[in-house]
Amino acid sequence: MNSIKKMIQENIFILSKEQTKQFNEYFPHKVYKTERNISIIVALTQVVMMILFLFRKNIDFHEFRIVAYFSLYIYLFLATVLALVFYKYTYKRNMFKIYSWLRRIYCFLICMWLMGITLLDQAHGADLSVFSYLLPTMAAVLLVSPMESIVIFGSTWVLLITMLISFGNQDGQFGIIINSIFVTVLSIFISFRYYRSMAIEFCDRLTIENQYKEIKQVNHQLEDLAHVDQLTGLYNRHYLHQVIYPMFNENLKNNLHSMCLILDIDFFKQYNDNYGHLKGDECIKQITKVIREFCDRYDANAIRYGGEEFLIIKVDKNEIDALVIANELLYEINKENITRDDLEINHVTVSIGIWDDSMFKVETLETAIHYADNALYKAKAEGRNRIA
């Protein structure tokens, strides 16, 4: 049972409930201009027919058939003009649910007009030619769902045959019924094929959009991987060159302030030799945790600048007291108390070099980093575990 239901869904209704909601907002953009132009042609055709009727010789408006034809032309003209007005109003305001109902109503009104014309033709011995070419034409140009086409075209056929049997010419009724069934089924089939092609196009569009989003997401992930150091989760030098350098250099002429801190773990090679690289990685991760929390608090960017070197950059419209900030960072790292017994001091320490000033006083970020790096060497020369 489920397999049959699935087959019907995929081959007849095509779209799921969620896709149908999206499709109802998609298809108006595809059909609006075409259906608007067709409606204008329909309205103009009715005007032409009315003019031709009025200029016909020996026309007698006391005759029921003449009045009926003329009334049907007026009816379709007014229905089409109203449809054009409301189509435009609802479409421009994205009122797609109302827009869809208007299209259904207009389609049904055209079918009623077609039924009226056919009944008048049949009453005077004409064949089903108007019904035979206009119903399939409607199916080909007015987009309706399979269920809607069955209801609208099917009810039109039922009403037409009921009226023909009740009031029409009895001669040739069997042939008329057979031909009208064929035309109605053909129209439903054409409508279904039109709807299906539009639905498949929509599904293909959704698939492409989803694939594009997935590719975009993967690209973002790859970009993040390219910008992020895998061990620490901090930004890497690639991010520094691709993002921080341009951002810093763009603001050089603005009256902004900046600080660069370069932090280096003291005697880290010795730590690695004594405790091994796995322990060294754990040490770097613990230092990184402190740096990340610190940078989140001060709205600064942290970059893993080298193996055990870290660069912290902050830009602000107010003056930055980098020495106070660096002292706080040094205190927090010491408080982390990452133990080591290969030095006189029994925990891991760091040295920090500072540059801070107005940004316009340096030519590039490279210059600021160079000053901070010189300060770092000074801190190391003065005994490490300190700020310069």
Q: What is the pLDDT of residue 186?
A: 93
Q: What is the pLDDT of residue 249?
A: 79
Asked if pLDDT for residue 144 goes beyond 60, the answer is yes
Bridge partners of residue 255, in order along the sequence: none
Q: What is the mean pLDDT of residues 87-102?
A: 90
Q: What is the mean pLDDT of residues 129-138?
A: 87
Query: Which of 283 and 216 is assigned the larger pLDDT?
Result: 283
Q: Where are the domains of the chain?
A: 2-212, 237-381
Asked if pLDDT for residue 250 goes beyond 90, the answer is no
**In this predicted model, what pLDDT tens digit does every residue of 359-379 receive, in sequence order?**
777 778 888 888 999 999 999
**In this predicted model, what pLDDT tens digit does every residue of 162-204 receive, in sequence order?**
887 776 666 667 778 888 899 999 999 999 999 988 888 888 8
CATH topology of domain 237-381: Alpha-Beta Plaits (3.30.70)
- Stretch among 165-169, 234-238, 258-262, 355-359 having the lowest mean pLDDT: 165-169
Q: Is 308 a catalytic residue?
A: yes
Q: Which contacts qualify for 177-181: CB closer than 8 Å, 24 or more apart?
A: 179/128, 179/132, 180/128, 180/131, 181/157
Q: What is the pLDDT of residue 170?
A: 60
Q: What is the pTM of this model?
A: 0.59
Q: What is the pLDDT of residue 126?
A: 63
Q: What is the pLDDT of residue 377?
A: 93
Q: Which pLDDT band holds residue 13 (cuts at 50, 70, 90)?
A: low
Mean pLDDT of the chain: 85
Bridge partners of residue 312, in order along the sequence: 261, 302
CA distances from 288 to 80, 307, 314, 356 (A): 71, 12, 17, 22
Asked if pLDDT for residue 10 goes beyond 60, the answer is no
Q: What is the pLDDT of residue 351?
A: 93
CA distance 198 to 388: 70
Q: Which pLDDT band holds residue 8 (cuts at 50, 70, 90)?
A: very low
The catalytically annotated residue of 308, 328, 366, 382 is 308
Q: What is the pLDDT of residue 163?
A: 82
Q: What is the pLDDT of residue 9?
A: 47
**In this predicted model, what pLDDT tens digit does every residue of 328-364 receive, in sequence order?**
989 999 998 888 888 888 889 999 999 888 777 777 8
Q: What is the pLDDT of residue 387?
A: 92
Q: What is the pLDDT of residue 3?
A: 54
- Torsion angle in degrees (nearest 10) through CA of 72, 78, 83, 89: 180
Asked if pLDDT for residue 259 goes beyond 80, the answer is yes
Asked if pLDDT for residue 5 goes beyond 50, the answer is no
Asked if pLDDT for residue 87 goes beyond 70, the answer is yes
Q: What is the mean pLDDT of residues 30-45?
A: 90
CA distance 141 to 351: 77
